[in-house]
Structure 1
Amino acid sequence: MGRTPLKKVIKAKLKSNTELTELEKLREKIKYEIAEELGLKEKVDKEGWGGLTSEETGRIGGIMTKRKRTLKVPKNEEIQNIDEKN
């Protein structure tokens, strides 16, 4: 059986008020920054991430991937591996 995807782990931690790791916090910060840059922050605040269309979500995800690569942020799987070791 596979591992739980990082975004589900983060969502569960946010719901249960469990503190995020520094890399998880950075991932969330990048995601919100991109949503704001695309003019979607108000929609996210009002309706949540589930209120976005697949096109909007895909655009955010694509930009996140590029930005994380530029900033040399580990991939989601690598973040989970780091967290499991600590």
Structure 2
Amino acid sequence: MAKYKKKPEKMTPEELAVEKMKLEIADELGLGDKVKEKGWENLTARETGRVGGVMSRRLRDKKLQKS
């Protein structure tokens, strides 16, 4: 698997917003320190799934509110 990650200055505003949301959710779940110290690749599948699930729910709720 590639270790390539876009640099923040090359990310679009949407990508930056998603990254910010991921970090906020990780902090809320108590995973923020682990992500900042070791990176996303060191989270377990369960932890990553929790972050992704919460993120999906929030994005879906935002989309429903706009409709």
Q: Unaligned 5+ residue runs, structure 2?
A: none
Cα RMSD (Å) = 1.8
Q: 1:41 matched to which residue of 2?
A: 32
Q: 1:64 matched to which residue of 2?
A: 55
Q: 1:12 matched to which residue of 2?
A: 5
Q: Distance in 1 between matches of 2:39 and 2:6?
A: 16
RCO greater where, 1 or 2, for CA within 8 Å and sep 6 or more? Answer: 1
Q: Distance in 2 between matches of 1:22 and 1:47?
A: 25
Query: Given the two structures, how large is their TM-score scaled by the length of structure 2?
Result: 0.79
Cα displacement (A) at 1:51: 1.0
Q: Unaligned 5+ residue runs, structure 1?
A: 1-7, 73-86
User: Percent identity between the aligned chains?
Assistant: 48
Q: 2:13 matched to which residue of 1?
A: 22
AA aligned to 2:55 is: M
**Count of aligned residue pairs for this structure pair:** 61
Deviations 1:51-81 (A, max 9, x none): 1111000000000101111222xxxxxxxxx
